[in-house]
Chains A and B, each alone.
Chain A
Amino acid sequence: MQVVAAMTGPSGTSTSGWYARNVADETAEVPVTDPARLVFDEQALALADDVWRVARRLTRDPQAAEDLMQEAYTRAFRSWKQYEPGTNLRAWLLRIVHNLAIDNARKQQRQPEQLGLEADDYYLYDRLNGAAAPDVDRLIERLSPGPVLDALSELSLPFREVVVLVDLGDLSYQEAADVLEIPVGTVMSRLHRGRRVLKKALADHTDAEAA
């Protein structure tokens, strides 16, 4: 649907961005963008930090993340009409990011090993039960994020995605389930197993520091 400019007022009504570049001849009837599209654009661009946080951790390096962001936003602007106003736009954008990340992973055919995913559920419990159990608050305060980020990047994509979408993308279990098209129970169990690996990395790092 195309809205025709009803007001091509005196020169200088609008001087920047898309509008200015498209108003070449103000005497003619000028097609302008659907106002809903402008709203969508601004909202989507305002979420760039949030989407970046997720895209960055779904990829191995910053350049791949930038490529993913550009692909995702290109697709988002092209299919903006499929977005239903009033619903969670962040979740909508993250679904696009997820789909592209999956496509890229398939192309690369590279599945990293699932380090530590089979660890005992009570590993940490048993460990923290020891006499030399670390003071967690103190530990967190002075902890360098390196080990946790390394562990995160080593998680295989299905687990990493859930952790990233929930913990960094602030999606609820249900929203993450919708994005990934998996049951909520699967989101919870992947989250549980993914975080367990990160916790183990954190605990291992503490031991190394304490030693």
Chain B
Amino acid sequence: MSTRVRSEACLHAQRCVQEYVDGTLVAEEVTVVDVHLAECPCCAKCYGLEVGVRTVMRKACDEPCPEGLRAELRRICDDCDCE
């Protein structure tokens, strides 16, 4: 696999991906990253994957508490005689 030279802007964007996607990156940095993402398909894909992995995981894990367990928790609650 050929490794294209990683530009300074790409390195910066790669360092920011987590905080950018989590919404904890400071505003000025967000602007810098946005500009870069518009012109760098590779970084844009990396960011897409960062979001995507969470979307997929979230969707996969979005199962409700089983009803039997919910009833059992209610019973544990009712039986707890602590004050």
- Is B82 an interface residue when CB atoms closer than 8 A count as contact? yes
Q: How far is the CA of A79 from the CA of B20 in the complex (A)?
A: 38
A66's partner among B54, B64, B69 (CB-CB below 8 A) is: B69
- Is A29 an interface residue when CB atoms closer than 8 A count as contact? no
- Is A105 an interface residue when CB atoms closer than 8 A count as contact? no
Q: How far is the CA of A18 from the CA of B1 in the complex (A)?
A: 66
- CB–CB A192/B6 < 8 A: no
Of A6-14, A95-103, A109-117, A124-132, the one touching chain B:
A124-132
Q: How far is the CA of A33 from the CA of B19 in the complex (A)?
A: 45
- Is A179 an interface residue when CB atoms closer than 8 A count as contact? no
- Is B76 an interface residue when CB atoms closer than 8 A count as contact? yes
Q: How far is the CA of A50 from the CA of B35 in the complex (A)?
A: 36
- CB–CB B76/A70 < 8 A: yes
- CB–CB A148/B63 < 8 A: no
Q: How far is the CA of A138 from the CA of B65 in the complex (A)?
A: 30
List B residues 13-70 near A (Cβ within 8 Å): 14, 18-19, 22, 24, 41-43, 45-46, 48-50, 52-66, 69-70
- CB–CB A188/B18 < 8 A: yes
With a CB–CB cut-off of 8 A, which chain A residues contact B46? 124-125, 128
- CB–CB B77/A198 < 8 A: no
- CB–CB B65/A69 < 8 A: yes
A17-B78 contact, Cβ under 8 Å, with A37-B83, A192-B18 = yes
Q: How far is the CA of A122 from the CA of B1 in the complex (A)?
A: 13
- CB–CB A128/B78 < 8 A: no
Interface size in chain A (residues, C-beta < 8 A)? 59
With a CB–CB cut-off of 8 A, which chain B residues contact A53? 61-63
A167-B77 contact, Cβ under 8 Å, with A52-B69, A125-B10, A192-B18 = no
Q: For the complex formed, measure the closest distance between the CB of A73 and the CB atoms of chain B, giving whole angstroms.
A: 5
- CB–CB B82/A129 < 8 A: no
A74-B76, A124-B49 given; name 6 further pairs at CB < 8 Å.
A48-B70, A53-B63, A125-B10, A129-B4, A148-B60, A166-B22
- Interchain Cβ contacts under 8 Å between A and B, 21 examples: A33-B83, A41-B77, A45-B74, A48-B65, A51-B65, A52-B65, A56-B61, A57-B61, A66-B69, A69-B69, A73-B76, A124-B46, A128-B42, A129-B42, A134-B45, A140-B48, A140-B52, A143-B52, A149-B60, A199-B50, A199-B53
Please list the residues of chain B having a beta carbon within 8 angstroms of any beta carbon in chain A.
Answer: 1-4, 6, 10, 14, 18-19, 22, 24, 41-43, 45-46, 48-50, 52-66, 69-70, 72-74, 76-78, 80, 82-83
